[in-house]
Amino acid sequence: MEQGTSKLVSEQSLKKFCNAVLCKAGVPADEASVVVDNLVQADLRGVDSHGVVRFPIYIKRLLDGGTNATPRPKVLRDSPTAVVYDGDNGLGHLVGVRAMQLAIDKSHEHGGCAFVAVRNSNHFGAAAYYAEMAARQNMIGFAFTIGAINHMTPWGGAEAMLGNNPFAVAFPTPTGDPIVLDMACSIAARGKIIVAAKEGKPIPADWATGPDGLPTTDAVEALKGFVVPVGGPKGYALTLTVGLLSTMLSGAFFGSEVGDLYEKTGEAQNSGHLFGVLPVAAFDEVPNYMARIQKGMDDIRNAKRAPGVDRIYLPGEREQLSLLSRRENGLPLGEGLWRELQELAQRYDVPLTHID
């Protein structure tokens, strides 16, 4: 069955396909499943800019040698509360999951806050995935990352020196579904522009500029130009801050050192991340925290609504609703992405079928 010009694919068939292709590209099966769960969850949550739309470039980087299919990450510096972690140029999703789990384990072991700074990683997909790992352990989770390509200028500059440097913060709640902020520091994630370019659709005029520095609605031209920071100079400062947090503690690349996810596919990117956890129990009894955050959630949801507004959402709620819907009804893949995945299916003799 098609939805508009999209093909609907079940979660199970998409995961099976991606796992099989990754394995044929040299990734061990158990590690491939970690990467695929991250990717497909982004699509389930409606964050299509960070899901399987990136899958073809991840495969190309593996084949071209820019990403290590069989990494052996290691701890470089270790203390009860802080770790520097080398991802050995592995897929960023795998490195990210292992690094966040290390922060969680450190916190469980020592009963306090823990942070893990990462070097030698790659693009890690949606930041919410990692922050939510901590939230589901009754910890406030943090995930920061450097962009995998420079496409934002310093405020007042005419040369790209920054990515849009996403970050996420997730709060545990009594329902088990975290309150989670996941945002890029640009008005729109570059992945949304990539999706529009693949599907031949225009973008809003305030998302990006072309290479001439002028606003554009042409997604293809926007990919040649620069994304616009959210909030003008404040967004630029936020982007810079997230970039520094993601790199300066670990020795990952920053500024002019940053490569290009799409163009320099044979070169290691040395991408950096920072993961952190604040365990609720280190500050107060968990039931006390849960009572407070439940009241806070109720206050926000029950606030007087503006005309025409049926519901006030907390950050992350729309994504959770999307996950439930798409898990039941299927994930829509745009025509351009469908063609790319079918090319991979033919190359690796791995079928990908849509829902009839």
CA 13, 135, 130 angle in degrees (round to 5)? 50
Domain 2-186+229-284+316-348 has CATH 1.10.150.20: no
Straight-line distance from the first to the last Cα atom of the chain, in angstroms, rounded to the nearest whole number: 4
pLDDT in the model for residue 1: 41
**Fold agreement (2-186+229-284+316-348, 190-228):** no
- Domain residues of the chain, as ranges? 2-186+229-284+316-348, 190-228
| pLDDT (average), residues 275-295 | 98
Average pLDDT over residues 183-206: 87
pLDDT tens digits along 119-171: 999 999 999 999 999 999 999 999 999 988 998 989 888 889 999 999 999 99
pLDDT at 225 over 50: yes
Per-residue pLDDT, averaged over 58-87, amounts to 98
Residue 309 CA: distances (Å) to CA of 179, 301, 320, 325: 20, 12, 19, 21
Q: Give pTM, 2 decimals.
A: 0.93
Distance between CA 92 and CA 99 in Å, rounded? 10
- Structure tokens, 259: 């490569």
Specify the amino acid at residue 13: S
Q: List, for residues 239-258, the tens digit of each pLDDT value.
A: 999 999 999 999 999 999 99
For 190-228, the fitting CATH number among 3.30.70.20, 3.30.60.50, 3.40.50.300, 3.30.930.10 is 3.30.60.50
**Whole-number mean pLDDT of the chain?**
94
Question: How many other CB atoms are there within 10 angstroms of residue 207's CB atom?
Answer: 22
The pLDDT score that the predictor gives to residue 356 is: 65
Tell me how far CA of residue 199 lies from CA of 26, 142, 337, in angstroms: 30, 33, 8
Among 316, 301, 309, smallest CA distance to 168 is for 316
Residue 2 scores a pLDDT above 50: no
**In the chain, alpha helices (H):** 11-24, 29-44, 55-64, 92-110, 128-135, 190-199, 219-224, 233-247, 286-301, 317-329, 335-348
Q: What percent of the chain has pLDDT over 90?
A: 83
- Residue 331's H or E segment, with its range, is strand 331-333
Which residue, among 44, 56, 137, 40, has the nearest Cα to 93 in the 3D structure?
40
